[in-house]
Amino acid sequence: MAGNAAVGILALQGDVSEHISAFESAIRNLGLSIPVIPVRRAEDIPHLIALAIPGGESTTIMRLIDQNGMRRPIQQFEGGIFATCAGMVVAARDLVNETRFTPLDLIDITVNRNAFGRQRESFEADIPFNGFDTPFHAVFIRAPVITRVGPDVTILAEIPQGIIAVKKGKKLILSFHPEISHDLRMHEYFLNEILTKN
């Protein structure tokens, strides 16, 4: 069946193709052979080793998740979760100032969806990242930040506006867009984490 031992990219809305190429390159760099596939059907999810939830528009992604019957399968999925930007909003336990939809509660964090306001819709910054020797060049586009983390969530990066990268077990949750910055360390870090944990 499609999706066996693959990395899946949730392909309902958002920057899906960028994630597919970034994961394909990272997998190649690590000398691995794992297919990367777009995921549009709930039944493909349990067979994946990881699911990426891309950036895009979280209200739209959440609506399509529910319309496609994917809420429970994603919540029950035990593989890796790589969530970026809108994906962070979707993965949160709760949201600041947002009542139109209920996120998936994949990790115990509270997220402020549009934390940087209209004036500063997008920007780039070199961010020191716990575990990396040199800063990571992060691209923020209408980015969310984390305003609260649960006790067993590890903070990996923080800027004055808030927490922008966390992990718990096989879940890596990021405010920014590593799939467009031509630095594959984030994808490689994630793959190493999920392949060495069971």
Minimum separation from the CB atom of position 113 to ligand GLN (A):
4
Which residues, including other chains, have CB under 8 Å from residue 81's CB and lie 6 or more apart?
50, 51, 52, 53, 91, 106, 107, 170, 171, 172, 173
Residue 27 vs 175, nearer CB to ligand GLN = 175
Indicate the SS3 state at residue 70: coil
Report residue 156 as tokens.
């990996």
Q: Which range touches ligand GLN (CB under 6 A), out of 50-58, 72-80, 99-107, 148-156? A: 50-58
- Active site amino acids: 85, 177, 179
Minimum separation from the CB atom of position 161 to ligand GLN (A):
13
CB 177 within 8 A of CB 91: no
Positions 99 through 128 that interact with ligand GLN (CB under 6 A): 113-114
Q: How far is CA 166 from CA 107, 161, 162, 197, in A?
A: 10, 15, 11, 17
Q: Which of 56, 73, 103, 178 binds ligand GLN (CB under 6 A)?
A: 56
Minimum separation from the CB atom of position 19 to ligand GLN (A):
12
# binding residues, ligand GLN (CB under 6 A): 12
> Beta strand 94-96 with 109-112: parallel, antiparallel or unpaired?
parallel
Reference 78, options 37, 107, 105, 49; nearest CA is 49
| Contact mark string toward ligand GLN, 130..169, x via CB under 6 A | -----------xx-x-------------------------
H runs (alpha helix) in the chain: 16-29, 58-67, 71-76, 86-91, 185-196
CB 27 within 8 A of CB 190: no
Q: Which of 8, 12, 58, 109 binds ligand GLN (CB under 6 A)?
A: 58
Minimum separation from the CB atom of position 61 to ligand GLN (A):
7
Interaction site with ligand GLN (CB under 6 A): 55-58, 85-86, 89, 113-114, 141-142, 144
